[in-house]
């Protein structure tokens, strides 16, 4: 009797399941709109006296400002913290204990977030504690002592956003040596692989958020952003290393840096495709749990460990252009 009762219960459950209506398709009209608050002209604040009238001018005298604001991707801005570092000259001399004014464009105009004092590493940390709608926001950091500026973007993206992620050196550029040439000679313009620009813009056209995760040091962030923009790569958040100990071409250095970045991203977002070139990219991407079928590796490690191989990006661009538009948890205006 007990078995009969169990069988009856299972049969009844199956009947209910078989008659359950499929979920309604997502209605684009109910999705939030991804606001884009970038591109507004920025007027700096008036300069103010240095907090340290002798030491700070000595720091600035070592060379041009080489500041760096970090792009940030979050699903909730109330937990977000903007970070920036302020240095001068090719030796990246830190600007310590000086005031920086921070501004954010919330789509109505530039809003001051307050003044923050650099620490002994030349950094500031700016808690937002503000609920911003999903969107992309420009941020400006101004050193009040001399008016020098740096920028960043804040990407407030809902959970489930689909990302196309790519390395830069040896993946978008023709070789890893392009990085070292630029580190030695800041005027060097890295050569891009055939199809590299189109690879990113094709993903953008299909609705993906394109993200750049690189082992470049933070002091190359400005040059890297300029290179991506000047060549016409898709706009997207740029993630550089947090310290020089993460730039070494080893699994325990840049490999672990990238794997940590991917693991944190994948807690909230879907990395639909990833592009790289090095054994450390394989280590990071597969170690973070990406499906090798969604990973493309160019160059000498092409196709290793079940990934897709390439020697240029031309064929892959055609494949991406043939894909259907992606469904995101937001709509673009």
Written as one string, the DSSP assignment of 171-213 is TTBS-THHHHHHHH-TT--PPBPTTHHHHHHHHHHTTPEEEEE
> Within a 10 A sphere around the Cβ of 215, how many other Cβ atoms?
26
In this prediction, residue 5 carries a pLDDT of 44
Mean pLDDT of 306-320: 97
* Fold assignment, 162-321: Rossmann fold (3.40.50)
Mean pLDDT of 177-197: 77
Model pTM above 0.85: yes
Residue 287: both structure tokens together: 């170690």
The DSSP 8-state label assigned to residue 65 in this structure reads B
Q: For 209-246, how does the pLDDT look when each residue is reduced to its tens digit (9 = 90+)?
A: 999 999 998 888 998 999 999 999 999 999 999 888 88
Least confident window among 27-36, 176-185, 309-318: 176-185
Q: Of residues 21 and 93, which shows the higher confidence score?
A: 93
In this prediction, residue 176 carries a pLDDT of 67
pLDDT tier at 11, thresholds 50, 70, 90: very low
> Within a 10 A sphere around the Cβ of 296, how many other Cβ atoms?
25
Q: Among 139, 142, 9, 134, which residue's Cα sits nearest to residue 67?
A: 142
Assess if CATH 2.160.10.10 describes domain 35-156: no
Q: Please, where in the chain does CATH 3.40.50.1000 lie?
A: 162-321
3-state secondary structure (DSSP) of residue 291:
coil
Q: For 32-73, how does the pLDDT look when each residue is reduced to its tens digit (9 = 90+)?
A: 999 999 999 999 999 999 999 999 999 999 999 999 999 999
> Within a 10 A sphere around the Cβ of 105, how many other Cβ atoms?
20
Q: Assess contact for 33 and 330: CB atoms under 8 A.
A: yes
Q: Please, where in the chain does CATH 2.60.40.10 lie?
A: 35-156
Nearby residues of 59 by Cβ (< 8 Å), 6 or more positions away: 88, 93, 94, 95, 96
Query: H-type helices in 267-308, by residue range?
Result: 279-287
Mean pLDDT over the full length of the chain: 90
To the nearest 10°, report the CA torsion of 201, 203, 205, 208: -130
Q: For 93-146, how does the pLDDT look when each residue is reduced to its tens digit (9 = 90+)?
A: 999 999 999 999 999 999 999 999 999 999 999 999 889 999 999 999 999 999
Q: Among 105, 104, 88, 107, which residue's Cα sits nearest to residue 96?
A: 88
In this prediction, residue 6 carries a pLDDT of 38
Q: Assess contact for 98 and 144: CB atoms under 8 A.
A: yes
Burial of 270 (0-12, 13-18, 19+ CB in 10 A): middle
Mean pLDDT of 62-88: 96
């Amino acid at each position: 009797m007990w078995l009969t009762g169990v069988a009856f219960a299972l049969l009844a459950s199956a009947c209910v399941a078989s008659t359950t209506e499929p979920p309604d398709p997502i209605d684009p009209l109910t999705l939030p709109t991804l606001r884009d608050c970038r591109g507004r002209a920025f007027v700096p604040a008036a300069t103010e006296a240095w907090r340290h009238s002798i030491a700070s001018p000595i720091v600035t005298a070592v060379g041009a400002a080489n500041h760096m604001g970090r792009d940030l991707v979050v699903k909730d801005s109330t937990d977000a913290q903007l970070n920036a570092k302020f240095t001068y000259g090719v030796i990246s001399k830190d600007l310590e204990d000086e005031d920086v004014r921070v501004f954010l464009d919330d789509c109505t105009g530039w809003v001051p977030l307050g003044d923050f004092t650099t620490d002994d590493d030349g950094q500031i940390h700016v808690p937002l504690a503000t609920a911003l709608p999903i969107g992309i926001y420009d941020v400006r950091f101004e050193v009040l002592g001399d008016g020098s500026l740096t920028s960043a973007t804040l990407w407030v993206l809902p959970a489930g956003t689909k990302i196309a992620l790519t390395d830069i050196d040896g993946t978008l550029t023709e070789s890893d040596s392009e990085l070292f040439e630029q580190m030695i000679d800041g005027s060097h313009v890295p050569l891009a692989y055939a199809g590299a620009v189109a690879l990113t813009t094709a993903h953008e056209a299909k609705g993906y958020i394109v993200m750049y995760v690189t082992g470049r040091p933070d002091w190359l962030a400005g040059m890297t952003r300029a290179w991506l923009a000047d060549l016409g790569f898709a706009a997207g958040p740029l993630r550089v290393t947090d310290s020089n100990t993460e730039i070494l071409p080893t699994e325990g250095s840049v490999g672990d840096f990238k794997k940590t970045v991917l693991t944190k991203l994948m807690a909230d977002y879907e990395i639909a495709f990833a592009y790289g070139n090095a054994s450390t990219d394989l280590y990071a991407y597969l170690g973070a749990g990406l499906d090798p079928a969604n990973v493309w590796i160019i160059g000498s490690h092409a196709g290793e460990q079940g990934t897709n191989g390439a020697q240029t990006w031309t064929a892959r661009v055609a494949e991406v252009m043939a894909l259907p538009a992606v469904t995101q948890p937001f709509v673009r205006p």
